[in-house]
Amino acid sequence: MSSRERVLGRVRRALADVPADARPYEEAVARDYLREHGQRSVAETVDLLAENLADYRAIVHRCAEEELPGLLARLLSAHGSRTVVVPPGLPAQWTAAADVTLVQDLAASTAPELDEVDSVVTGCAVAVAETGTIVLDGSPDQGRRRITLVPDHHVCVVRVPDQVVPSVPRALERLDPARPLTWISGPSATSDIELDRVEGVHGPRTLEVVLLGGS
């Protein structure tokens, strides 16, 4: 008997007492839990996002649409970035004012090549206020997952208020589970048994979030 046959046999035995007319899982499990905690205005929700992002040690900026190219240029310059990887769908005007060399997100790019890049600039799919979490789904303005995991500096632009939701359940309503979702709460960090925090182990050491359209 093969390993596959053993596994399938165990699954069949586990399901042997399930009635033939049992409802599908998505119908059988109650979904009447709270979708969000409390009632907030749009401005309060955005403020909560900014507060929780900062609590996770992300650096938060706010600007209007026309101010974005100048702000990104200043952030990249302050970081000392000379090369910046950009997804194929990132609006060209966002990085037009930056004095950097743009590196395209290519399927052939390797981890060592991306490790030589100073920064990455992306959009996002959604941002969760209650958890201070940015979610990427591989859309054209976000690119492949690896471009946001290898470079040491990530600048993520969040459109306010369109891409801001109050809670994780509200975020899940917007996201396609078949897409490659990356959930980011602050810069990459871990700690050992003595709770010594180390940043940049499995992702960017520095995360900067621009709330575009926020006041």
What pLDDT score does 214 carry?
53
pLDDT one-digit tens code per residue, 145-159: 999 999 999 999 999
The CATH class for the domain spanning 40-212 reads: alpha beta
Entry pTM: 0.83
Tally Cβ neighbours within 10 Å of residue 6. 10
* 11 has pLDDT over 70: yes
What pLDDT score does 57 carry?
92
Instruction: Answer yes or no: are the C-beta atoms of 102 and 108 closer than 8 Å.
Output: no
What pLDDT score does 200 carry?
61
pLDDT one-digit tens code per residue, 170-183: 999 999 999 999 99
Alpha carbon distance 47, 69 (integer Å): 23
How do the domains of the chain map onto residue ranges? 40-212
What pLDDT score does 35 carry?
81
